[in-house]
Amino acid sequence: MTETTDRRPTGRFLARAAAVVLATGVAALGLAGPASAHVRVDPGEATQGGYSALTFRVPNESSTAATTKLEIALPADSPFASVSVKPVPGWKATTTSGKLAKPIEAHGTQVTEAVNRVTFTATSKATGIQPGEFQEFEISVGPLPEDKDKLFFKALQTYSDGEVSRWIEEQTGSEEPENPAPELKLVKGVAEGDGHGDADAEPSAAAATSSTSDSGGNGLAIGLGVAGLVAGVAGLIAGLMALRRSTATSASES
């Protein structure tokens, strides 16, 4: 009777411990992705003075509403002489322009007005970004400034229930802000050119680096979560087996 009484509490303890380990593992896996669940620009790096196609990746963070609008504010202190938009099926793209306080020159021509905002609007709720989905919106801009090392593209993400996520905080230190604005780093070109070819080649390499970095970071977090979960469950199974062997040995000896 003593063995039976001792075994049952131990079994219940192990079961509860297993539940805790499983819950912790699931929570760790669930937290591996959301840290990157905000509007991002890809590639994250382009060449100063060149032209670049920028893709804004927009995930839906709501569990019930669809994302129906994305507004992208172009840097006010670094206007672009050229801005074009790639159509997205099920979405309407519009641009807003404004007079420049100081004209800029592009290819020998004075530019006095420039696009300062690009807006993508879903043509219906059904074509919006549904929960658990993401969409990509692409624009082409240039020339990029030669006197800056980074640009921020503040973005407003509107949901079908009226909620607005404001991705407008500029990162100034090592820690990412809670609502970071998409950031584009600018680097000097590695070779002389006409300002187009080099810029096109550089962002491609940067895009591969950015994509690898994002997936690698999430992959590492998920891998660590899985490894911890497997190790915890394996340890519990080993402990349970050892307990059973010990109980069987005590029973045979008595």
What tens-digit pLDDT sequence spans the chain (254 residues)? 444 444 444 555 545 554 544 444 444 444 334 445 799 999 999 999 999 999 999 999 999 999 999 999 999 999 999 999 999 999 999 999 999 988 888 778 888 999 999 999 999 999 999 999 999 999 999 999 999 999 999 999 999 999 999 999 999 888 889 999 999 999 998 644 444 444 443 343 333 333 434 444 444 444 545 455 545 545 555 555 655 665 555 555 55
Closest CA to 217 of 34, 23, 71: 34
Smallest CA-to-CA distance from 184 within 143, 141, 153, 218 is with 153
114 pairs with which residues across the strands? 98
The two tokens of residue 13 are 């303890």
What is the H or E stretch that residue 28 is in? helix 2-30
Strands (E) in the chain, as ranges, are 40-42, 45-47, 52-59, 67-73, 82-85, 91-106, 109-122, 134-142, 150-152, 154-159, 164-167, 183-187
Please tell me whether the overall predicted TM-score, pTM, comes out greater than 0.85 for this model.
no
List of residues 6+ apart from 190 with CB closer than 8 A: 198, 202
User: Which is nearest to 88 in space by CA: 114, 76, 70, 100?
Assistant: 70
